Amino acid sequence: MKLSDYVKLRRGTGRDLAIALGVAQVLVYQWHTGRRPVPLERCAEIERITNGAVTRRDLRPDDWQRIWPELAQQEVSHA
């Protein structure tokens, strides 16, 4: 699920996610609107906080395999 979809489902503000991450709500807004990319160091934390609803793959669709090769291995073993 895209971060923007997750935020919309959660009343559209990103407030709860911002609180859980300890960041400003405006930063979550910038992430989910695509104005700023989600930093690598926040991706796994967002995946955990959202209980896997938003995955690292969702957050970094263009480069997740290069950053987290172990996820690509998991995909192969589940296929």
| Dihedral, 57, 24, 16, 64 alpha carbons, nearest 10 | 0
Q: What is the pTM of this model?
A: 0.85
Neighbouring C-beta atoms of residue 57, cutoff 10 Å: 15
CATH topology of domain 3-78: 434 Repressor (Amino-terminal Domain) (1.10.260)
pLDDT value at position 75? 67
pLDDT value at position 13? 77
pLDDT tens figures, 6-55: 999 988 778 999 999 999 999 999 999 999 999 999 999 999 999 999 99
Q: How does DSSP classify residue 23?
A: S
Token pair listed for 68: 């987290």
Q: What are the contacts of 60-69 at 24+ separation with CB within 8 A?
A: 67/40
pLDDT value at position 76? 58
- Domain segments of the chain: what residues? 3-78
| CB-based contact 42:22 (threshold 8 Å) | no
